[in-house]
Structure 1
Amino acid sequence: MRFGKTLADSIYPPWKDRYLDYEKMKKLLREDETSPQGRGGEASWTEKDEENFVHELTVVQLEKVSQHQADTFNAIRERAAACEAKLPTPETENGKSEEEWKAVARDMLKELDSISKDLNELRKFSRINYTGFLKAAKKHDRKRGLKYRVRPMLQVRLSQTPFNQEDYSPLLFRLSAMYSWARQRLGEEDPSKEPTSDVKPTETYTAHKYWVHVDNLLEVKTHILRRLPVLVYNPQSAKVLETSQKDPTMTSIYFDNHSFDLYQSKVDKSTPGNSVRLRWTGQLEDKPEIVLEKKSVGDGVESREIRFPIKEKYIQPFLKGEYKMEKQIQKLQDRLGVDSGEVKSLKSNIEEIQSFIREKDLEPVLRASYTRTAFQIPGDDRIRISLDTDLAFIREDALDSDRPCRDLDDWHRTDIDQNQMEYPFSSIKKGEISRFQHAILEIKVKDTKYTRNNTWLHDLMNSHLIKEEKRFSKFVHGVAELFEDYVNIFPFWLSDLETDIRRDPVTAYQEEQQREAKQVEDEIAVGSFLGTSRLSSSKGKTGSPSKYPERRMSGQISQSVQSSRLKSIDQLEPTAEEDADGDGDGDARPLVSDSSTSGLRSLLPAFSNSRYARRHRRGTAWDDAPLPPGVKDPGVWIKDRGNPKVEGKVWLANQRTFIKWQHIAVLLATLSLGLFNAAGVNNNVARILALVYTGFAIFAGVWGWAVYMWRSKLITERSGKDFDNVFGPFAVSIGLACALLLNFAFKYNAIADTKRNATAVALQPLVKLPPDHHVLEGLWTPEL
């Protein structure tokens, strides 16, 4: 279908005047003039014509589309903010009855439906116009490219405009939260009901994709090598590692049909995407293992990937449906049995892929060749990093029957594989190859304690050395570059190819600081209105929502709001695990380190709270790491082997501490002995306190000796443990303080008792009055 017809069919009637005027651009280009001579030739195309076309395309039309996109998106955010203002707060929760809140929820659902519809149309508007600009520039360069080229300038302009920046997920998250509140008010959701499922969650990874400029390639490699080793691929499974072995060359052949339906589904994202490819490592003449893969991405974040090895001679019969892998199935049955689960799974996978190829009428269309360097700790898959260089895309199709790139009766190009061509594939015709100028860095991270507290990974992902491209796909990029005449939709990252991806380190740091500050602000704003609905029991901040609080958040919002007061929280959001070749769509989330202090150590400064002490009390990240297969705990570190060589001042410092403890023990013993001798036989308080001080003296002596021996052992072992041990001084200090207070209290009570007894004795009469006497006016006389 011609793009003009595609654009006309995609127009949203209320915005029909805001789309790219594609027909006007064709008229300005004089597309109907095809004769190279006379009026229709190059001689009739003047500088004025070129100026008019370029100004109309890169200024008038681009500003019209960009302005409409910006105004519409701002209006949608205003409408979303207005809906957020209707949400209840602790002050307004009791101001309306339940029926009034239900009426608000019903009105909000209608408005949210309208907002969602407009947001979806805006996404389609941005993508179809983006494709239209590239199509118009391509027509110009094809017709007037001998003297003028407009596409490089257009791509620079496109990279500077916001309408082609596809990031609507933060706003979608806000809409989802409001949808949830409205459904709960209407009784469609039960917030207290926990999801019940017997299915255990599978391990998922988050994929982060970046472009690396060739000037920064070595620095990125060395930064990674300081923490992760290179994962060596040995196709011969040799026992002796060859240090001169080069990084392997990987080849993938992607399938699609003449309508490029698989490409369309991956770019548009409106329908579940599927992809099929053949993949191998090294040269095909070396008979490597070839794997046939199919990846299915559902409506959510989960994906499903099936694969099985296939021999080269069976590929073409398999694609035609003439061979169903009977030999492989029979071998597996002989080894495991007919009823084995692996046999049933293999049969199911073979049938699924073969039927999918037959239904979609798929055939090989694109080859991607690249050199891969993998970084990973053997047996530890928490962090997996791959760096792909020398990336080239080659047409592998037979769409043009008169000049096919591949033999119609074969599944691959024999000119490449038989001649063992390597990058840069100089023998391939210009229109059949596209070389990617950057390296592709992909970081796959499993959500664990180790990865959430990984500073070096966070620094790399936010450095000036790399440029993030979240949704980059080799298959999508190769088709967009080599089959642009066959497709009517392009990925947004194409406009970044004409710009310099290198950044100034200071600028990159400032952008990261602004991003984290904006993240904290957004989390507080979003959490403020969510805290009064489904998460009302949490201690989130309350208040009016921010005008543009946009940020994708994971986990409990209330926890994010509380944590954002102190630091920037950006937890990893689990998504579908990417395929082995790393050609899926990742979602990048930064990693931040987290350290906190609590309890008695944060309250008492006497307790060591240094970074060194906290790290060794908490344990390093490797303490909890499982050992790789075949690796045993040596028990003793290499650094601890051999004769210890310790400076004399270390031993003397330990001895001085021991002597100080003995000094304290002697002083306490002397004090207790003097107190006991000075106390009389009847002074039980002094005698008891003397015994208490004697106990503290004994404890100080024993403690000093024990700590001296313990620290001597740590010095001998060259241990990295913390030498601080505050229990002894703390116990002696508190004990002496209590003893002194008790001594003061007992002495005070003794003095008080003495004074009370003296007063009673002074007031006692000297003569005992007989019962028949009485006192008159202070005197007493015998009664007559």
Structure 2
Amino acid sequence: MRFGEHLQQSMIQDYFWHYIAYDELKKALKTDFVTLPTPDNAKPDRKPWTEDDETHFVALLESELDKVFIFQKLKSEEIVRRIQVSEKEVNDVVSRLDSAAAPNGNNRRRSVRPPPTDEDFLLLEQVLSDIIADVHDLAKFTQLNYTAFQKIIKKHDKQTGWYLKPVFAARLKAKPFFKDNYDAFVVKLSKLYDLVRTKGNPVKGDSAAGGSQQNFVRQTTKYWVHPDNITELKLIILKHLPVLVFNSQKEFDEEDSAISSIYYDNTDTWELYEGRLKKTEGAEAIRLRWYGGMKSDQIFVERKTHREDWTGEKSVKARFALKEKNVNAFLAGRMTVESVFEKMRREGKKSEAEIADLEQLAREIQYRVITRKLVPVTRSFYHRTAFQLPGDARVRISLDTELTMVREDNLDGRKRAGNNWRRMDIGVDYPFSQLPAGDVERFPYAVLEVKLQTQAGQEPPKWIRDLTASHLVEAVPKFSKFIHGTAVMFPDRINLLPFWMPQMDVDIRKPATRKFGIMRPLASTSMSANDDTNEDEESDIEGPRYRDMDDSDGNALDIEERIAAPLDHDEDYPLYDSDEESFDSDELEEARQIGGSLYAQKLVEWYAHRIGAGLITFAQALIPRPRPTSLPPPEERGISVMGAQRTVKRFHAPKGKRIFVPVRVEPKVYFAAERTFLSWLEFSIILGSIAATLLNFGDDYVTFASSWAFTILAALSLVYSLVLYIWRVDKIRNRRDVKRVYYEKWGPTVVGLGLVLVILVNFALRLREGNFMAPDDGFGRGKHSGLPSTGRGHEL
């Protein structure tokens, strides 16, 4: 789909006249013809781009930028005012609720201020839902217009040869309509919506507490979220879970949500990286983390330890706090563990047993850092928005945005961190533009982490299942910031890559396969000139009180949904790319108006393109090849890790690299391999016993030949099973994802066919000798048999 068409289809009705005039700017890029078109010269040359043309285009562009910037600013201020008014209304309703629950001495006040009803809370919920929808629409409006400006500038530079991009970048910085941060809106709306949803009785508790639930099944899944979907995802979640705020008395500050971590490793062996990547039993990750800006004095020293499920233990994360001024001395061993916790022991806020556990943890981390020569290698930075009921960890959702990885090492001779535990030339100033390209990796997606604690046999909440199965997220199980950052920042030193690396080159945006999105009350009556009044009135009368944003008359869908406008979801996802268009519809329409040979030529090219694409598709369908099996609909129980649309693609690792696919290995896998070998051994012994019996009790060439055949078959079976067992154990130990480790079709088939062949040959030779049914010779034996007779003329 061309971007111009996509823009027209994605416009929000109420904002119709405030979008960038993309088509007018495209027309302004075309100069007049040198001469009028004629049948002989249907497409004459255009006049060269002049300074006057550039001045006219820039003026139009400035006008459009002013229009978008002013509207975005006014709309943002309007949302702020509406939130303030709603906050007063919510507080007023909650105060009436409190006064109604006051002692009897306040009867006069209760008579003046009646307690709120369910309708009052319902009305407030509708108002807040409408504000949430407006925030969603404004975010989409901003994103779409910003993309349009980037597209038209790129088209201008390509067609005219005049480079406007550097100059206009300064104009965009002067009017940064696209840099508005909606996190403050999300935090405020979350608090108000939680008050209304719970009817003035929000869940209270320690925000830092994890709850005291026991016998819970814990499930953690990670997802990637495209930047276009971040705001919408936050607005969806806040309707079910409040934003977790540790200090509700403090106004929201973006720096408060910043989290930075320094990961340590041995740069010769990369043992911590490979251990975490392979998920080996006991694999550790050691990091130093702080919250907020660089002025934060409290540094958390953390150790994450991976435990396999078969051990019966859970992976654990343990940490202790350390003053920033003491970090270098502690890691170098100049500061003892006892001195670290001296103040804690003196204050007496923790028990002696808790302090002893922390000291043991600190002693182990200090020992590992010194003995394994661990140094800082990678820093991760991101802003985190956490959604959780205070003191209740049954459902916890965190969304990490602006994720960035930075090098902290001194491997190439550059003193980044030097002798310090972290580099000091950067802080929390995303996007860290002062760093060279080789020192920073800006992750293109946000990372959503869903943590559930459900009773055994209990399903997660339906809204969680709907969210994780929607088009807004892409499941990437076991994604690790440390693993990804280290693999990307050290391409010359890391040869084992995580399994999600090939997915970085795939667009994770998906079409909306079902209705899912922001819910708003019935739309207002304002509409653009292209609206159908009768249809809108019918939908307002007959429709429910709420309707999905995806149901509005084609005006509120996001980019992914608009691109997915065709109903056939089995086709490839039609992402637009206006810079690589093969056939420009504007030129075809222009040629049609001119007529003559030019139009005929363009028409032939257009039909040739369509027919060629159809023939290629038809030829691909005729080529005999394995066909993919139809997959069932996504699983409805638990967290769905994939949507209904699957993409099959074979990835190849870069030269000299290897993609590591995690393979889960438990001790019972080794035992199963051993039992399989013993079964083969038992089978070989049985065959050998048959061969020995035939050889010892037979005296003709048929019995002799059969015994040798059974002997050879038994020996081959024994050698094959031994080699297969050794090969399997080696592959299991190295965690290689090889199909034959768990499935072997040729060995049993060959041995079975060989056994059948030996028996058939034996019977055939006996029939050829003519004594297979030989009569008894009177002495209890067959005429020519060397075997004991059965007494009825049948040989063994």
Asked if TM exceeds 0.5, the reply is no
Q: TM-score range by the shorter chain?
A: 0.3 to 0.5
For normalisation by structure 1, the TM-score amounts to 0.38
